[in-house]
Amino acid sequence: MSLVTTIYTALFYFATAILLVGVARKIYIYASTPAPLKIPTTPAPTTRSGVVYRMLKEVILFESLFKSNKWIWLFGWTFHMAMWAVLARHLRYFMEPVAGLITLIQPIGIYAGFGMLLGLGGLFARRIFVERIRYISAPSDYLMLLLIIGIAATGLLMKFVEHTDVIAVKAFTLGLVYFDIQPMPEDPILMVHLASVAFLMIIFPISKLLHAPGVFFSPTRNQADNPREQRHLSPWAAELEKN
């Protein structure tokens, strides 16, 4: 086994473990921390199904962001939706035979890469040129965008400029899935692409990328507005009543 193959194999198992364990740990923390008071931002739905509908609008349409700022919404929504399409397309590297649905979105998935770049570029430009957003940006905020821009750009390079050996790539990724290690193609662009993806997976649970699981636990968005109908009491608040 070549050194590159060893490193990338180890890297991906490590990154996957960090991502899964790290996010699971955070989800456990979010889920087990009580929200002692009813604080939905009103007007809010009064039922559980209403809350599901509100949350779906939030995570699929980015409803609040749309109300807030049309430019951020345009760039942010374009980036995220394009990213889902690209991620879905990449599932083909982890299955054989490729599912019909994945084959179906393959053409969309390819061009969605440009959508990602467009959205990310817009967000990056705003971070630099809008004074207020520049003020609130830390170095990591810029670097995070650059990292994902790098991932999208190297991906597009391999598709449209310097083709990589996708058959070999798929053999490598399938090998990871089935614990049957195959050689990693030593294509520099591919190596940058995959190293960046692994790095993103590693920092996911220790960075603002936690917004992805976090939004589902936001009490202002996931609580039903029914405090008069149903008494809401957290365990630590119930303790106070014993005194």
Partner 1 sequence: MAKAKFETPELKEFPEIPAIQVGAMAHSKPFFAKPAHQEDLGFPTELPDDWKEIVIAKMGELLKKYRGLQVYLDTCVKCGACTDKCHYFLGTADPKNMPVARQDLLRAVYRRYFTFAGKYFPKLVGAVDLTKEVLDDWYSYFHQCSQCRRCSVYCPYGIDTAEVSMAAREILDSVGMGQKYCNEIIAKVYKIGNNLGLPGPALIDTMEGIEEDVKDETGIDVKYPVDVVGADVLLVTPSADFFAEPHVDGLIGYGKVFHEAGISWTVSSHASEAANFGMFIGSYENMRKVALRIREAAIELKVKRIVIGECGHAWRVAYSFLNTLAGPFDFLDQNYPIPQHIIEVTHGLIQEGKLTFDKSANDHLNITFHDSCNVARASRMGNTPGGQFRLPREVIKAVANNFYDMAPETIHENTFCCGGGGGLLTDDLIELRVKGAMPRMQALKQVVDEHDVNHLVAICAICKSQFSKTLPYYEFPMDMIGSLHALVSNAIQLGTKD
Exactly one of 43, 49, 129, 242 binds partner 1 (CB under 8 A); that residue is 43
x/- track of binding to partner 1 for residues 104-123 (CB under 8 A): -------------------x
Query: Which positions from 138 to 167 touch partner 1 by CB under 8 A, shown as an x/- string?
Result: xxxx-x------------------------
Is 24 near partner 1 (CB under 8 A)?
Answer: no
Please report the DSSP string for the chain in residue order. Answer: --HHHHHHHHHHHHHHHHHHHHHHHHHHHHHHS---S--PPSS--SSHHHHHHHHHIIIII-HHHHHH-HHHHHHHHHHHHHHHHHHHHHGGGG-SSPPHHHHHHHHHHHHHHHHHHHHHHHHHHHHHH-HHHHHH--HHHHHHHHHHHHHHHHHHHHHHTS---HHHHHHHHHHHHTT---PPP--HHHHHHHHHHHHHHHHGGGSGGGHHHHGGG-HHHHS-S-TTTS----HHHHHHTT-
Which listed residue (5, 16, 38, 199) binds partner 1 by CB under 8 A?
38
- Cβ proximity to partner 1, 36 vs 121, nearer residue: 36
Binding residues for partner 1, rule: CB under 8 A, are 26, 29-30, 33-39, 41-46, 58, 62, 64-65, 67-69, 72, 76, 123, 126-127, 130-133, 135-141, 143, 203, 206-208, 210-211, 214-215, 217-221, 225, 227-228, 231-233, 236-237, 240
